[in-house]
Amino acid sequence: MKDVYVTDHKPLPRKVHTLGQSEDELLFKYHQELQQYNSTKSEFAKTNEKKSKYERGSLLQLILDPFAGAQRLENGALFYEVLDKELDPSLNNEEKLRAQFETLKANMEGASELGEDDMEELRL
């Protein structure tokens, strides 16, 4: 029991290295303002509820205001939900997509029979 010490576990006061009273005051004000800033909600966390000038999915909206209607999440990321009318209409044609996939698959099977030089030419 000689090695056991009882303490009151009080946290040590934070030491700040400044050059004088004026720097102490500036640092104190800085910490107060920082705490106040962190306690307020950011405007970026709100959804972008403003009306867009352009109809959603139109060519002008895609070019000039691509993130119209996007929300900014708490971590700063943009969340944008793509609507069906914004997608290319050719993506709804299941038969055409299957035909393209089969063509691509057939081309890839033929490409595996080629040598490395031929594969390099295909990549370029």
pLDDT tens string 35-70: 998 887 765 545 445 667 888 778 888 788 888 878
Residue with tokens 């705490």: 35
Q: 73 and 51 share a domain?
A: yes
CB atoms under 10 Å from CB of 68, counted, come to: 18
- Within this chain, do residues 99 and 122 fall inside the same structural domain, yes or no? yes
Q: Please classify residue 76 by burial: count the beta carbons closer than 10 Å to its beta carbon, then call 0-12 exposed, 13-18 middle and 19+ buried.
A: exposed
51 and 32 within one domain: no
Average pLDDT over every residue of 3-16: 77
State the residue range of the domain holding 63.
Answer: 46-86
Is the model's pTM score more than 0.85?
A: no
Q: For residue 10, tell me if it sits in a domain.
A: no
Interval 60-108: pLDDT, tens: 887 888 888 788 888 888 888 888 777 777 777 888 889 989 998 888 8
The β-bridge partners of 71 are 47, 79
> Same domain for 81 and 100?
no
The DSSP letter of residue 107 is: H
pLDDT at residue 29, rounded to an integer:
93
* In-domain check, residue 37: yes
DSSP string, 15-60: P---SSHHHHHHHHHHHHHHHHHHHSPPGGGSB--SPPSS-TTSHH
Domain count, the chain: 3
Which H or E run contains 79?
strand 78-79
- Do 106 and 93 lie in one domain? The reply is yes
- 82/92 same-domain check: no
Q: Does residue 7 form part of some domain?
A: no
Judgement on whether residues 55 and 82 belong to the same structural domain of the protein: yes
Pair type for strands 71-72 and 78-79? antiparallel
Question: Is residue 55 located within the same domain as residue 75?
Answer: yes
Q: What angle do CA 28, 29, 30 make, to 5 degrees?
A: 90
Asked whether residue 8 is assigned to any structural domain, the reply reads no
